[in-house]
Structure 1
Amino acid sequence: MFRSEPPQYADDTRDADTIPDFVVIDVETACSRVSSICQIGIVGFRDGRIAFEYESLIDPRDRFSSFNTRIHGIAAEHVIGQPSFADVHAVVDRHLAGRLTVAHSYFDKGALAAACRVHDRAAIDTTWLDSVRVAKRAWPELPSHKLNVVSRHLGIPLRHHDALSDARAAGMIVVRAIEHTGITLAEWSAPPPSRQRAPAPPPAGGGPLQGQRIAILGQPRDGPLAHRIAAAGGRVMSGVGSTTTILVVVGDEPFGYVRYDAGFRKAEELRRAGLAIRIVSDRQFVDELAAAG
């Protein structure tokens, strides 16, 4: 099922025809630690076509959980004799550094950064584009923008949770989105226009959240959840600080890659320091708020 050696791939530094417009990366992990990369797939796209591919199993130097193995099928015995992330870091850096890198959600970005830290390797300097964001804008009518859902909708072949197949599919989603919307790759990859930060709604004079100072991760502080918090007497904070009592994480239960967000890390650091900060999903928070009446 898995290759014992990485396959051959085009050396895009030699042939101008294979220098990619963008590259795509997907990783699989051995356990809940996102640094535990056990497979990497990288695909380069040029003019809407695949220019090169790279794939390798990785010895994560970490344990394998049965949960993760059930998802991707990779177990400890598959990575015996395979390179560590430190061994392939130079190859990954050569393909990504200085380029536009696509990943389907920012899980792969967080995993790559974590693996660089754990294996004492330099961070990879690349510009990231989230193909989930691309898919949401291109096909807003879909009930979900998970990789398998969007791929099925577009008829893109996919062997889900195989890193190389996932990378191919995420790249094709970007190609199809360009064709479907007419939005160029440069426009997709441009940073969103800056806008003046809207103020948070003022807290009501009373309610079940009176006295609570609440930060929201994943939604602006003038969004619908912020207004609901304010109506219940809570104060919406601009970020996580020592006076924050609750951090609400929107749409990422059980948190996953968001654990590498600076606000999330700050909340965990403050909790370890003894401050009473709760970290809850938006679903749990709304349920508790409804129960409080």
Structure 2
Amino acid sequence: MSSANLAEPDFVVVDVETACSRVSSICQIGIVGFRGGQEVFAWETLVDPRDEFSAFNIGIHGITPHHVAGQPHFGEIHAQIDAHLRGRVTVAHSWFDKGALAAACRVSERAEIATDWLDSVRVAKHAWPQLENHKLNRLAAFLGIEHHHHDALSDARAAGMVIVKAIEHTGIDLKGWMAKPDRKRAQPPAPALDGPLKGQRIAILGEPRDGALAQHLAAAGGRIVASVGSTTNMLVVATKQPYGRWAETSEPYRKANALRAAGKPIVIVSEADLRAKLKRQG
């Protein structure tokens, strides 16, 4: 069903499932449009990812090579996806789906889709800060939303209802959620004069550079930098970060790997491993 024949939605929601750890390997996509708090259209399809299927991913969503046999590949449905998303507010639950669509566009040599993105995880954290986590299945249970986890259409529908209920709960409208926070750029803590990390230039994946992890590393002498660059010595992957198991597909992680491949002495380490090492040294 094309959204072009329907009332213009206030926002659309997209969710994808992937066949393997490569985020470009989209094997299912679901898109739902909302207007005035109500669903106005839904579109979904299985996709031939033209890639391998990992047992891990199959265990999550249940989609196998058999299911996508004869289904269109991403390049063949790019125009339909573009028609649904381009020029609109597009909601996704975390930035994974945004990254997956961008990667699939690159791999299939199609133009990146121009849309205004809204992360429903950020919205949910603001609306219901008391929740232990803001994963989609947890939110759906908390808000009483019917939901079949890791089905792209059901996930998109549930993420859309998170936005609808957040608007109802907080009184902040869609324009308010889209507004960029008016805040000063986070300033990193000054490094201690001495410590086991003295001389290390450290980027952090998944936490702000003025957060608790940054404070801990700076206290050990590390200098916290804004991003991975040619002079970065270490990338620390925070334990609680928005990429989850997809951290290796994030831009900072890929950049750090590229620098290592080019012979730069940069270490990639998890927060847990680094904290344990510092504790032993302390």
Q: Is the 8 A contact 1:253 1:281 kept in 2?
A: no
Question: What aligned pairs does 1:61-80 form with structure 2 within 5 A after superposition?
Answer: 61-80=50-69
Among candidates 5, 24, 42, match of residue 14 of structure 1: 5
Q: Report the aligned-residue RMSD.
A: 1.6
Aligned to 2:29: 40
Q: Number of matched residues?
A: 281
Aligned to 1:107: 96
1:281 deviation in Å?
2.6
The one-letter amino acid of 2:54's match is: S
Q: Secondary structure at the match of 2:5?
A: coil
Q: Tell me the TM-score normalized by structure 1.
A: 0.91
Aligned to 1:81: 70
1:224 deviation in Å?
2.0
- 1:163 aligned onto 2:164: no
Q: Deviations over 1:182-213 (max 9, x none)?
A: 01111011122242x34322222221112211
Question: What aligned pairs does 1:1-293 form with structure 2 within 5 A after superposition?
Answer: 9=1, 11-15=2-6, 18-195=7-184, 197-250=185-238, 251-252=240-241, 256-293=245-282
1:95 deviation in Å?
0.2
Q: Secondary structure at the match of 1:13?
A: helix
1:254 deviation in Å?
7.7
The one-letter amino acid of 1:224's match is: A
| Shift in alpha-carbon separation, 1:257–1:67, aligned structure 2, 3 A | closer
The one-letter amino acid of 1:230's match is: A
| Shift in alpha-carbon separation, 1:164–1:184, aligned structure 2, 3 A | same
1:260 deviation in Å?
5.0
- In percent, how many aligned pairs have the same letter? 60
- The whole-number CA distance in structure 2 between the counterparts of 1:288 and 1:277 is 17
| Shift in alpha-carbon separation, 1:207–1:252, aligned structure 2, 3 A | same
Q: Specify every segment of 5 or more residues in structure 2 that has no aligned partner in the other structure, as ranges.
A: none
Q: Specify every segment of 5 or more residues in structure 1 that has no aligned partner in the other structure, as ranges.
A: 1-8
Q: Tell me the TM-score normalized by structure 2.
A: 0.94
1:235 deviation in Å?
1.5
